[in-house]
Structure 1
Amino acid sequence: MKTITLRIPTSFKEWKEFIREKSTSRKKHNQEVLWDFANAISSEALSNYWRNDISETMVKSVFRMGGNSKLTKMYFEAKKQLK
């Protein structure tokens, strides 16, 4: 036999807590997805495949994660805009 449990908020306080919990978990998930995407772009640009096409200066200033790179700045700007 299978059991199904439903959580139904019965008061305004429970409803607010339910909505806050959902939005917090959604925001955390979206931040993780953004971080994974930025890391994927960075690792692709740093791979040996692009070594002859992208200059070392551009790799350091645009695609490297962390520090003061353009990709890191874009990640934090996008993270601020998440709802």
Structure 2
Amino acid sequence: MNPPVTVHPFGADGGRRVSVHTAGGTHILGIAYSDADVVEFLRRAGLQDGEQLLDDREWVRWRGGRPHEWVAA
């Protein structure tokens, strides 16, 4: 099973798009520039334990860079 939350590769501005996949489709939560941004997007999506979910591979998939990486290599 794919994790419902994806942190996408770096964009041109250095941010990483964050999306969530639900039964209703895929929705963009926002552009993150730090772990704190991802945690806030998860909170707004109703997931109160966002900090604990960041390293849970069943919840979050990190693409195009290592987890917690915020500067394009």
TM-score by length of 2: 0.29
Structure number, greater radius of gyration: 1
TM-score by length of 1: 0.27
Instruction: Select the structure that is richer in strand.
Output: 2
Instruction: Select the structure that is richer in helix.
Output: 1
